[in-house]
Structure formats: structure tokens, C-alpha cells
Structure 1
């Protein structure tokens, strides 16, 4: 069997469809099918159950795919070693970014990065944390930017910065008059949240988890964007919390409604995460250096208290 054949197997395992897998591998569907059939004949087993729609892995096929991932990763490492030795920083690099970080951080570093490393072809996807973890483990992402810690033994984390939470308090709210606030000032039943699936939402729930947990059931309004939450708050429907970088682009009239927390400020930890295989580590290091450089001037908070995105059960 060959590395190429194993890559065909992984593509079919991912897409559960021979035609889509062939398109991903840039070969014809008959060519891909023939090569997979050769492996099955060589091993005298069936990797895929073709009678099911979509195509499913057989029990032995699942074990083969697991091992094939290791083999393909180690084969890719050879090219990686050569590129590192030559000091080459280039090639395709797939980066995932969570939705609450993408709009603010990406414009800050992307232009600098592509100018400094023109040979790198960045393919960027906006994904939630759960999707990112799955794609990192499946080899469909090289790295990602997400809130941490994730406490996953198969993923490494490099902290990029700590981003404080900032409260958005409309004028009709009782704590609007305060210059700085504490967590206990928040009415948990008034907080407007992002939709389920956002780790920023989980961070807020963790921030407030020790205060009237029964009240969590009364959250009624959830949105997919901070802009919507701000508008809802302005309509008198509650308060919300924002990541610090998001507040920098608010209108001056909206900035008057921002209230920072007293120290230590509750904050999220934002990290560059990647598989422990450390493939393309030279590009990961270049990303870390570029992002750290541009963010350093924007976030100067030192005394912060990290709020994990992991919602504790």
C-alpha cells in the first residue's frame, strides 16, 4: 500500500462519499475507487460498507483509518522537517477562528502576516470551538485561534493574550451610574447572551455560575451577534458583556455605556491551538509572533482573572 492510497481512504472516511473524496484528492472517482479496492484486496478485508448511505466504515475499517492518520501525519512530517531545515515558511495553512474572535482579531494581524510571509497561503474558516477540535483531530485544520483552556490532551495551546470582559449597561439600568462594577452588581436574569454553542456564552455562564444558578433558566433572549445584543440592551431588554477588543470599534455614544470591572478583571484566555504532531510549526510560530506583536499595543491589562470557556457540570 502507498501513502497516496491511505490519503484516499482518509478522504472517503471524512466525506462518506467516493465522488466528493475524489474531488478533494484531485483524481477521478474511478481512480480513487480502484486504489481503495487494491488496499482492501491486499489486506483481504472491507474498509467501507458500501451498502449503506452514506458510506460507513466497517469495524476493522475504523481501526485502519485511525492508523492511517498516524502514518500520513508522520509522512507529512518528513516534508515539514526539510522545510524547517531550509528555513522555508510557506505553503497552504488551514486556520480556524471562533466567531467571537474573528471580526476583531483577523483585521488586526492578517495584512501584516501576508506581507511578511507572502509564500504562505492562509485558508481561514470561522468555526465554533467544538468544530475546531474535531477538524484539528481529523487533520482538516493546521491550527486555530480559540478561547482556552480546553483541557484536551491531544491539543497544544500557546497563549496569545488575555482579553477582559466589559459590561454594556444602558442608561435606564440601576448600575449605569457606577464607574466600575463588580460581578455581584450584575443581575444574572438581565444578561443577554449569545446563542448556545458560543464559548463566550459559556464563559459568561461560568463567570456568573455561583450567583443564583436557578436564575439561569430564565434567559430568554439569545442572539448570534454582539451587535444584536447591544441593540436589545438599548431597547431596555437587559445588559450584556462584550470582549474588550470588540468595544474599541463602538460608536462614542455606545462607549459611554461601557463599564469595566474592578481588578482583578474577569477575562478570557485566547490561544493559538494546534495538534501535538506539531506539523507546520514554523508557520504556527510565525502566526504567534505576528499576533502577539499587534495585540500587545491594544490590550494592556495585567491584573486579570481567567474565566474558562468550559461550562462546568
Structure 2
């Protein structure tokens, strides 16, 4: 580990990230078309999503393949949203920018709307590692109980309900209805369908019963949505929530060096697959936030050794035993 001060280490990492990005852009002039690249990625993702859903609808692919492919596609949509929160694309064209924001939300309806998320995400960068970091606490960061942590990671709505009392005491300005309403109408409909289908099959298991014709038609639509949209996002959000809540510290944080550790462990590889390698690249974002996700991915291999040299921890999974505290 470097013997430099924290400030010097941070500066060295930021300098290395910026230098690598500059070199990359010089080698590939096409990267200057940042808005265009983002729009192409968005449209390709959207068309792929619709295409996979259509293939399942016409019985050309099995349900499991549809679920896996859509989960992968929506993980890209999440990365686009992350960049949009920092206004990296079409910032001077609000109509296009907001169209992109709406599209990535439609593809990931189990989240709060991106306009509200921008507010808590930018706040996250200011208070990362503290009790005021609502964004990370909503996905399980800082929870000691493994059972409660698993519930929050798997089900954002149930996690919000279980933690409301604690958040109200510890997080300044927290209001349950503000967070809950930020998911309407998409997240509301998402969880209504998810819980509705689960309840239906649970009741059928306990006491089988017949449903009227309109009920059968409604169930068919719900089951279709479960395969092409809901279950893929269950996998995507579970993977992302597990990785991000594991790599962010909670407590004992004094600077950017101590906000996250990098996750490269092979045990996390299945989950990294469904969150676009988040665990190995997100720490870069904490040092340089105004950088497209694809550039972060392209430079990560060279930047990770530099971060390690300057004090960023790797695979500090022991922190999970201490509710993510930085020790």
C-alpha cells in the first residue's frame, strides 16, 4: 500500500483514470460521439428486449432463456440510467434526455423513477458510507442481520416497509410516502403483479379453485409479464443489490478511498454477469463520476492495480460480518 496521504492517493487515482480515458479517446475517435453512442445502446437494448419478448410470445424460445436474456439486457439499461443521472447524455436536449430516462425506467419497472433517483444518487456521492446514504441503505447496505439483509436485497418494497421506522429515526428528511410514491405507477404495478401471481399459486396449492374466464385471461397476461419483464428484473435487481450493498462501506468512512472496495471474487461472478460487472468497475465511478459506463469498463483492467497500489481495498468481504463497517 502507498505511504502517501489519503488526499495524495485520491489525486493519483483520479489522475490515472483521467489519463487512461484521454488515451482511450485518442485511440478511438468515435468515442467523442458520446450522445450518439448512448442512443444507439439504448435503442439496441430496447429492440433486443422487444425481440426476445416476442420470441418467447410466439414460443420460439423457452421461458428460462427469455428470463436470462432480458435480465442481461436490462442490466445495460441500468448502466445507461446511472450515466443519465449524471446528465452525461443529451444534457442540452431535455426532450431526448427525458425520453431516455423514461425508456430505461420502463425496462426496469421495479425501481423508483429516475428523476427521484437522481436526487438520492447525487446525495449518495456526498454522504457515501454514512447513515444518510438512503440509496445504499434501501438495498441492504449497513444491515447486520443476514436474514433481513437477504429480504431487502431480494425485495425492495418489503425492505422499505421493514426499515421505515429505522430510516425515519436515522435519515434526515426521510419520508416513506415520498419514496413509495416515487415508484408509481410502474413499480406499483410491478409489485402488484408479482405478489398477485405468487398469491394465486399459493392459494391454488393450498386449495385448488377455478377462476372465471376473465380471470384466466388476466392470469395469462400476468404470466407473460412475469417471464418477459418481472422475473428478469428480479434477477437483475437481486444481483445488483447484492453486489452494491456488499462493496459499499457503512461507517468508519472518511474519504473516497474508504467508500468502496472492489469485488473480483469468483463467488460473485454469477451476480456480476447480471449487473454489468458492477463490482469490478463501480469504484472507478466514485473517483470520477462523469464518465460513461462503457469507458469505465474499458479502462478498469488497467486502473484496478493502480487503485490497489494507492489504498483501495479488494474483496474485503469480512466487512459483511460487521454490517459493512470500514475497519
Shorter-chain TM-score bucket reads under 0.3
More helix by share: 2
Q: Which has the greater radius of gyration?
A: 1
TM-score by length of 2: 0.23
